[in-house]
Amino acid sequence: MTERSGQAEDGTGGSVPTTPVCYRHPDRETYVRCSRCDRPICPECMREAAVGHQCPECVSEGRHSVRPARTAFGGGAAGRHGHVTKILIALNVLVMLLSIASDRGGDAAAGGSGFGGLMGGGTPLTDWGAVLGQAVFPDGTIGGIAQGQWYRLVTAMFLHYGVVHLLLNMWALWVLGRTLEAALGPLRFLALYLIAGLGGNVAVYLFSAPNSTAVGASTAIFGLFAAIFVIMRRLGRDTSAILPILVINLIFTFTVPGISIAGHLGGLVTGAVMALVLAYAPRMRRTVFQVAGGAILLVALVGLTLVRTGMLTGG
């Protein structure tokens, strides 16, 4: 029994009224009832509602019956907090520290063109994880993506040549990432970032010399530049401020020595295609279309990688 009501014997043959008690705490009398199920509830069990108070069970049931908030592209509203963007930045910084630690007295730690010179240099970690088609290492072994080291297509987007390289990319990620993550949701934004970065690295593998190396998050960053233009256009917002920044970055890509043109353009194109998939997916089948589009893009990138590998190995 969770409620006492009616009349009770008073010991003389008469009756006295009883008081309702909380359905969760039978020892507590209360005159307040849940506005949804009408059960009596004590102050500890009261939950503020639009009208009156509700019990904990009714509040829980109400939360389950309310659809979670979604962005215009089907993503979770949690993207407005920018957690994925922050995690990606933290991961890049952590890998930079590991890269410095891997260099025992080399040029990445101090002096010349190394870390101390701010422009950075290679470290054992960047040598291990950079995009590299095929090359003969100092110990006489042959390595590279063509030799099965496919992990380089992913690890390269988290490695950088020095602090300036890192800071420029992280600043761009901070500015672009939060806006895109809020618009797309965490998972869709992460998929966009990784696929754009992968696309840029595949382009490096396709169009660069087999023995050249490339690292950096800029493959993914250029994908974000293309994506924010597509997303803002889809939302009907002004994109006039985006184009000049994109043009300036493209000018730097073609004029500054040492920048991977293939990586930047590959990331730009791949990011644009993925953004189109996310932005223009039919509303009724949005998630299915987005997942299928991303999968097709990944299969295409794997196919291009296999073609390039066959060209380098003669397979």
Catalytic residue among 25, 218, 240, 260: 218
Best CA proximity match to 145, nearest among 312, 263, 314: 312
- Residue 64 among the catalytic residues: no
CB atoms under 10 Å from CB of 101, counted, come to 13
Best CA proximity match to 188, nearest among 302, 304, 300, 293: 293
Structure tokens at 310: 């066959």
Catalytic residue among 53, 160, 165, 264: 264
Cβ(169)–Cβ(197) below 8 Å: no
End-to-end CA distance of the chain: 79
> Please, which contacts does 98-107 make with residues 24 or more away whose CB atoms are closer than 8 Å?
98/125, 99/123, 99/125, 99/126, 99/159, 99/160
Give all strands (DSSP E) within the chain, no chain letters: 7-9, 15-17, 47-48, 53-54, 131-132, 135-136, 142-143, 213-214
Best CA proximity match to 125, nearest among 91, 160, 154, 149: 160
Cβ(136)–Cβ(142) below 8 Å: yes
Distance, in Å, from the CA atom of 174 to the CA atom of 239, rounded to the nearest integer, reads 19
- Residue 218 among the catalytic residues: yes
Across the strands, what pairs with 73? none
Question: Which residues are tagged catalytic?
Answer: 218, 264
